[in-house]
Amino acid sequence: MKPMSSVVRTITKLLLGPIFLFGAYIILHGHLTPGGGFQGGAIIATVMTLVLIAFGTRVWKKNILSFIESTGLLAFVGLGFLGLGSGFFLFNFLAGSDSLFFGKVIEPVTGEFAGWPANSAPLLSGGTVPLLNLFVGMEVVAALTLIIITMGLFAFDGKEGE
Amino acid sequence: MTFYNHLIEQAPAMVVAIPLLFAFATPLLFKFSAKFGKFWALLGVFATTVLMYVLAWDVLSEGGDVVNTYIFGAENTQLPLPGDNVVRISFAVDGMSAFMGLIMVTVSLAAIIYSISFVKKYTGNAKFFALMLLVLAANIGMVFTGDLFNLFVWFEVSSIALCGLTVFRSERGEAFEGAAKYLIYSTIAGLILLFSVGLLYGQYGHLNIKFLSEAIGGNAELLMVDKVALGLMMTVFALKAGAVPMHMATPDAYSEAPAPVTAIFVTASQAGLYAMFRMVFTLYGSNIHLTIDLLHAAGWIVIILGVVSMFVGVTMALVQKDIKRLMAYHAISQTGYMLLGVGVGMAVYATGGFDEFGRTAMTGGIFHIFNHAMYKGLLFLTAGAIIYKAGTRDLNKMGGLGRDMKLTALFFIIGALAISGIPPMNGFASKFLIYESVFKFNPIIGAIAMLVSLLTLASFVKVFYSAFMGPRMKEMARGEVPAPMLMGMAVLAGIILVFSMAPSLVVRSLVDPAVNALTGDGGTTSTSLTLFTGHGAWNAVVFMGAMISATIIAVMIRSFFGKKGMTPREEGKKPYLFGNPTEIDGRPIVVPGSNLYWGFTKALDRYYKPVEKFHSGIINEYVFWFVSTLVLVLLVMLAWVR
């Protein structure tokens, strides 16, 4: 696929940041608001596709993308296995602990423990759930981009990309 | 001891999580070294197999109706109560699940060992092994799941991963066609499954099978939603299993997928069978006074699907000339036996007939699931070996492979005898249970079941004749297939031989817990080596003894009264082909495999013409057949059941 005109490329550069930010927001707030890893990942994948169309299929390296995909999946399952240490597969072992940002909900002013995370909890809560969302997001971004690249190769010349 | 308890406690999740972990790491490791990646995949399937065997041993030795539950991310294994407002993913492992899990891991182990050298010459090995492990995880998940939504999720994972594997040989356009047909079929089926799960969730507010089953049983009368949901789910799982009006994508996908993938395909379709039986017996069986008519209707639907599958499958197989396609139609035909056996059990469930012959029929049907996975897996693997050496799938173009591939020929004979139900193979033991009980239920159906076995034998004679006998073809590669391929086949062949000799022990330790888990019946088989059906008995050891002594007597008669002066080694040099010379002008004469039963198929022209038109190859028509079956099943459910 050849790069498109400079109009398209300029608009793409302008849109790239906001869409990426929106996708990242959906992923990181997955445990608080509707959305999550898959939805946010799909949004970020649209940025990747936009870049692909504007700048050509050589922009993204397939090797790196498939590496990210595998790593995301592996980290997800690995986190599930870590839960075994405190009981069961996928056990939320970070919830309510002091060890990481994702543990207890801390009252912003007094710094005291403010109970279990609810729907309106701060961003840094939820134990392993935000991490799982992040890994799903990685996987979805990489996998959807790979699918688009493969389809693009079929649609156009079948030689570029590697 | 405490380690063992921990192991058993965690095993249900680990059996799914370990193949997932290994599957996702496989592509990464292949980037460093292909050899290490393959070793890693093999290690993954081996670890899963060992763990599954330990778990199955634990579950089956308790008699099968004790449910081993696993709640993901919870603090204990107890299921939250319906009012707790907690949504949890749960696994529930009882005798039937453990039985199916054993099948999945055994066939996957053989298939992955086999793949190590089978896919060596292709690119994309990393994805191949990752997807193989993913299918294994999905199949086990489908038989372990304790809630309906995850049944749908695993159904989709299994279908999509199998689609990816079907297009493995992406240089062939046909591979894409087969995968696309399977994808469209399974996606439509998956959506209808989701719809029926939604119906039940909307009515009862539960997804967990246990809670739902209690809620359905607690009703004063059967609701329309119950009937519609059961009808939809049964049709969907019949499609996954490949029952006849909805089998159209199966031969295309089976024949295009690489051989080890096809072996796994068989287990995936059996997960569909499992899900169907689980829905009927567990979801609708908690209050049998309420649902007895529904189960009767469901049983008859399953019996009719089974008989049609058996007959159409085997007759279509007889006229195929593509070896994998022929075997794919046999897979459909054998699925018919399982549907028939369990269908008879369903139709007479909780009536007097169940104790008399229904349980025997169900035992036979479920035993046949195991046997079928083993011998069909073996046959697909031998087909892969034949294609590996012959370089073609066309039966008319191959020949003489038995001269080099003696072990493969032996494995093929074992598989072919087992699938045709020839005593003393294990296929006979399960078919024996089905024949005896189904004959009691309805003699005509029993007779059809025997006829189908006969035709099965006929078509495997054709394959054996075409592939292994006759003169060597010039363009075929020489020598036996590589050792890993032989090992993969030997695993399955060994299991078939062991199970053939002691069918009653297998029924007692594996099949009875599975049947009890479904029906809650509590019956067992006797501890002796003889398999009793209530009307007859089968003992493989006695049969073997009789056969060996008869052979010895025949040999003695021959050596005493036979004509002297024969030179036994001389006549074996040239293949005997209807008394003709084997070569004319230096070119070998072979009767093409597809002409062997010319007279038979010609005589049945009036049957074959419409049936071949029915297999048009157009996916739109195939979807139409699926939807019509769905409508028919729903009509029966709504009109027949009060």
pLDDT (tens digit per residue) in B55-105: 999 888 887 777 888 888 777 767 776 666 566 788 999 899 999 999 999
Give me the amino acid identity at B310.
Answer: M
Is there a domain that residue A109 lies in? no
Chain A contact probe: residue of B16, B24, B72, B176 with most A CBs at under 10 A? B24
More confidently predicted of A108 and B481: B481
- Count of domains forming chain A: 1
Write out pLDDT tens, residues B184-205.
Answer: 999 999 999 999 999 999 998 8
Helix (H) / strand (E) element for B68: namely strand B68-71
Share the mean pLDDT of chain A. Answer: 79
Is there a domain that residue A112 lies in? no
Is there a domain that residue A117 lies in? no
- For residue B583, what are the β-bridge partners? B588
Put simply, the answer to whether B71 touches A77 (Cβ < 8 Å) is: no
Please check the confidence at residue B579 and state whether its pLDDT lies above 50. no
Put simply, the answer to whether A70 touches B27 (Cβ < 8 Å) is: yes
User: How far A155 CA lies from chain B's nearest CA (Å)?
Assistant: 16
Is there a domain that residue A123 lies in? no
Put simply, the answer to whether B25 touches A70 (Cβ < 8 Å) is: yes
Please check the confidence at residue B521 and state whether its pLDDT lies above 80. no
Would you state the structure tokens that stand for residue A14, as one six-digit string? 């302008």
Smallest CA–CA distance from A94 into chain B, residue: B73
Tokens 């995909």 found at: A69
**With bands split at pLDDT 50, 70 and 90, how would you rate the model's confidence at B552?**
very high
Residue range B8-12: mean pLDDT, rounded? 87
For chain B, the residue count is: 642
User: How far A4 CA lies from chain B's nearest CA (Å)?
Assistant: 30
Give me the residue from A70, A71, A84 closest to B10, CB to CB: A84
Share the mean pLDDT of chain B. Answer: 87
Give me the amino acid identity at A94.
Answer: L
Please check the confidence at residue B565 and state whether its pLDDT lies above 90. no
What would the DSSP string read from start to end of B126-141? HHHHHHHHHHHHHHHH
Would you state the structure tokens that stand for residue A143, as one six-digit string? 């996998």
Please check the confidence at residue A137 and state whether its pLDDT lies above 50. yes
Is there a domain that residue A137 lies in? yes
Cβ(A12)–Cβ(A50) below 8 Å = yes
Using alpha carbons, list the distances in angstroms from residue B535 to B120, B362, B539, B594: 52, 16, 14, 40
Residue range B14-42: mean pLDDT, rounded? 91
**With bands split at pLDDT 50, 70 and 90, how would you rate the model's confidence at B570?**
low
User: What phi, psi does B485 have (nearest 5°)?
Assistant: -65, -40
Is there a domain that residue A99 lies in? no
Give me the amino acid identity at A55.
Answer: F
Cα–Cα distance, B606 to B141 (Å, whole number): 45
Chain A residues within 8 A of B71 when measuring between CB atoms: 88
Helix (H) / strand (E) element for B379: namely helix B359-390
Please check the confidence at residue A119 and state whether its pLDDT lies above 70. no
Using alpha carbons, list the distances in angstroms from residue B367 to A88, B214, B512: 34, 29, 9
Residue range B566-584: mean pLDDT, rounded? 52
Cβ(B110)–Cβ(B385) below 8 Å = no
Cα–Cα distance, A26 to B626 (Å, whole number): 39
Please check the confidence at residue B169 and state whether its pLDDT lies above 90. no
Using alpha carbons, list the distances in angstroms from residue A80 to A70, A74, A84, B83, B400: 15, 10, 7, 27, 53
Rg (CA), chain A: 19
Cα–Cα distance, A13 to B492 (Å, whole number): 58
Residues 66-105 of A with CB under 8 A from B: 66-67, 69-71, 73-74, 77-78, 80-81, 83-84, 87-92
- At B580 the pLDDT is 47
Would you state the structure tokens that stand for residue B523, as one six-digit string? 């019956």
Please check the confidence at residue A35 and state whether its pLDDT lies above 90. no
Cβ(B242)–Cβ(B254) below 8 Å = no
Would you state the structure tokens that stand for residue B511, as one six-digit string? 């099949």
Smallest CA–CA distance from B15 into chain A, residue: A89
Cα–Cα distance, B479 to B389 (Å, whole number): 8
Cα–Cα distance, B128 to B143 (Å, whole number): 23
For chain A, the residue count is: 162
Pseudo-torsion of CA B152, B154, B157, B162, nearest 10°?
-110
Chain A residues within 8 A of B75 when measuring between CB atoms: 87-88, 91
Using alpha carbons, list the distances in angstroms from residue B427 to A110, A149, B371, B445, B462: 73, 48, 6, 18, 19
What would the DSSP string read from start to end of B410-444? HHHHHHHHHHTT-TTSHHHHHHHHHHHHHHHH-HH
More confidently predicted of B530 and B299: B299
User: What phi, psi does B71 have (nearest 5°)?
Assistant: -105, 120
Percentage of chain A surpassing pLDDT 90?
Answer: 31
Would you state the structure tokens that stand for residue B125, as one six-digit string? 């090995």
Cβ(A98)–Cβ(A3) below 8 Å = no
Smallest CA–CA distance from A82 into chain B, residue: B73
Put simply, the answer to whether A89 touches B13 (Cβ < 8 Å) is: yes
User: How far B24 CA lies from chain A's nearest CA (Å)?
Assistant: 5
Would you state the structure tokens that stand for residue B146, as one six-digit string? 């304790």
User: How far B74 CA lies from chain A's nearest CA (Å)?
Assistant: 6
Smallest CA–CA distance from B73 into chain A, residue: A91
Using alpha carbons, list the distances in angstroms from residue B89 to A31, B96, B102, B195, B552: 17, 20, 22, 19, 61
The sign of the dihedral angle between the CA atoms of B172, B178, B181, B182 is: negative
Q: Which residues contact B326 (CB under 8 A, 6 or more apart)?
A: B317, B320, B395, B459, B463
- At B569 the pLDDT is 57
- At A156 the pLDDT is 60
User: How far A63 CA lies from chain B's nearest CA (Å)?
Assistant: 9
Give me the residue from B14, B20, B73 closest to A91, CB to CB: B73
A95 half-sphere exposure, CB direction, 13 A CA radius: 18
User: How far A129 CA lies from chain B's nearest CA (Å)?
Assistant: 11
- Taking each helix axis as running N to C, give the angle between helix B288-318 and helix B323-347, from 0 to 180 degrees, rounded to the nearest 10: 160
- At B494 the pLDDT is 94
- Taking each helix axis as running N to C, give the angle between helix B95-118 and helix B483-501, from 0 to 180 degrees, rounded to the nearest 10: 150
- Judged by average pLDDT, the poorest of A6-20, B456-470, B527-541 is B527-541
Cβ(B154)–Cβ(B142) below 8 Å = yes
User: How far B72 CA lies from chain A's nearest CA (Å)?
Assistant: 6
Pseudo-torsion of CA B189, B194, B199, B201, nearest 10°?
150
What would the DSSP string read from start to end of B330-346? HHHHHHHHHHHHHHHHH
- Taking each helix axis as running N to C, give the angle between helix B359-390 and helix B512-519, from 0 to 180 degrees, rounded to the nearest 10: 120
- At B586 the pLDDT is 64
Cα–Cα distance, B534 to B537 (Å, whole number): 8
Q: Residue B152: exposed, middle, or buried by beta-carbon count in 10 A (0-12, 13-18, 19+)?
A: buried
According to DSSP, residue B369 is labeled H
Cα–Cα distance, B227 to B219 (Å, whole number): 13
State the first-to-last Cα distance of chain B, in angstroms, to the nearest integer.
53
Put simply, the answer to whether A88 touches B25 (Cβ < 8 Å) is: no
Cβ(B514)–Cβ(B95) below 8 Å = yes
User: How far B111 CA lies from chain A's nearest CA (Å)?
Assistant: 23
Cα–Cα distance, B448 to B273 (Å, whole number): 21
- Judged by average pLDDT, the poorest of B430-444, B478-492, B504-518, B572-586 is B572-586
Would you state the structure tokens that stand for residue B525, as one six-digit string? 């088989």
Put simply, the answer to whether B75 touches A78 (Cβ < 8 Å) is: no
Give me the residue from B17, B28, B74 closest to A81, CB to CB: B17
- At B582 the pLDDT is 56
Using alpha carbons, list the distances in angstroms from residue A67 to A62, A64, B128, B552, B615: 8, 5, 16, 64, 43
- For residue B90, what are the β-bridge partners? B71
Percentage of chain B surpassing pLDDT 90?
Answer: 48
Cβ(B48)–Cβ(B63) below 8 Å = no
Please check the confidence at residue B561 and state whether its pLDDT lies above 70. yes
Cα–Cα distance, B323 to B308 (Å, whole number): 22
Put simply, the answer to whether A77 touches B73 (Cβ < 8 Å) is: no
Chain B residues within 8 A of A83 when measuring between CB atoms: 73
Please check the confidence at residue B548 and state whether its pLDDT lies above 90. yes
Please check the confidence at residue A82 and state whether its pLDDT lies above 90. no
Is there a domain that residue A21 lies in? yes
Would you state the structure tokens that stand for residue A151, as one six-digit string? 């389809």
Residue range B504-527: mean pLDDT, rounded? 82
Please check the confidence at residue B221 and state whether its pLDDT lies above 70. yes
Would you state the structure tokens that stand for residue B409, as one six-digit string? 């020929």
Chain B residues within 8 A of A70 when measuring between CB atoms: 24-25, 27-28
Is there a domain that residue A139 lies in? yes
Report the range out of B84-98, B252-266, B532-546, B558-572 with the highest average pLDDT.
Answer: B252-266
Write out pLDDT tens, residues B423-479.
Answer: 888 899 999 999 989 998 889 999 999 999 999 998 898 888 888 877 777 677 778
Write out pLDDT tens, residues A46-56.
Answer: 999 898 888 87
Please check the confidence at residue A161 and state whether its pLDDT lies above 60. no
Chain A residues within 8 A of B70 when measuring between CB atoms: 88-89
Residue range B255-275: mean pLDDT, rounded? 93
- At B83 the pLDDT is 64
Domain that holds residue A84: 6-93+128-155
User: How far A109 CA lies from chain B's nearest CA (Å)?
Assistant: 32
Put simply, the answer to whether B21 touches A84 (Cβ < 8 Å) is: no
Helix locations, A4-103, DSSP H: 6-28, 37-55, 62-82
Helix (H, G, I), strand (E, B) or coil at A100: coil
Chain A residues within 8 A of B72 when measuring between CB atoms: 88-90
Give the A:B interface size as CB pairs under 8 Å.
48
- At A44 the pLDDT is 94
According to DSSP, residue B482 is labeled P
Would you state the structure tokens that stand for residue A3, as one six-digit string? 């790069």
Give me the residue from A74, A84, A87 closest to B24, CB to CB: A74
